[in-house]
Amino acid sequence: METISKARAHGGTQGVYKHDAQTTGCPMTFAVFVPPQAEAGKVPVLWYLSGLTCTHANVMDKGEYRKAAAEHGVIIVAPDTSPRGPGIPDEEGNWQFGSGAGFYLDATQAPYAANYRMWSYVTEELPALVAKEFPADMTRQGIFGHSMGGHGALTIALTYPERFKSCSAFAPIAQPSTAGWSKPAFEKYLGPDAAAWRAHDATALIADGKRFSEFLVDQGTADSFLDDGLRPWLLEEACKAAGIPLTLNMREGYDHSYYFISTFMADHIAWAAARLK
């Protein structure tokens, strides 16, 4: 693991790191904030999954999470959103597919299957590295994310409910198998059989019997992607039918940006920290 940068913040340390990832077949960069409480021993870890077009840097620069993370004593890990670099298949000009748009799944279709394995990266390889290199208590993990990353957080928590003690999301893609900005990517990554997509659709996972203790979702009412891409009411319907507690906050006037995310970031960290204790 290579250290790209380190900076002191709120008594803790914000770092950026790079390593050669086996799952994606390329170097991967990620950010980790370690709170001051880690000087006395291992602390809980909260995974943040970013949205389309983002890298690790968007939430690190705009998310305003460090003060709350330091107050509650939690590590924040922010992975990249896709493999990148020479030789990685991509569609230039298509911000909804390829670079910056890995959708937190393992592609099965050529030529993407060799590198686009973000599910395995964020659920297996990167957690093993974090457990080895940082003072992270891996028995106390939570996960949250934004948009595409909210989709990833929901599906990962539903698949590994024994691993995560909290899951929340900002403006998640509630049903990516039918949403206009994710269905084409699913077809290219996973093939034309929609049955193969269900493992990466929160509403389908719930319908198929997967459960999680509870969810917190914040969604802006002025989000331009609300009606076509996000549709939180579909998650609300799925959770109600399955008896999964869901707190859905419709935030009046807020959009899809990090102005929205940063406004409610401290709420999500406090909510997660209460469950990680």
Among candidate residues 147, 166, 168, 177, the one labeled active-site is: 147
Q: What is the mean pLDDT of residues 217-237?
A: 97
Cα–Cα distance measured from residue 182 to residue 203, given in angstroms and rounded to the nearest whole number: 14
Q: What is the mean pLDDT of residues 194-204?
A: 96
pTM for the model stands at 0.97
pLDDT at residue 68, as a whole number: 98
pLDDT at residue 181, as a whole number: 86
Q: What is the mean pLDDT of residues 245-256?
A: 98
pLDDT of 96 above 90: yes
Per-residue pLDDT tens digits for 128-142: 999 999 999 999 999
Among candidate residues 72, 146, 256, 268, the one labeled active-site is: 256
Q: How confident is the model at residue 236 (pLDDT cuts 50, 70, 90)?
A: very high
In the annotation, is 72 catalytic?
Answer: no
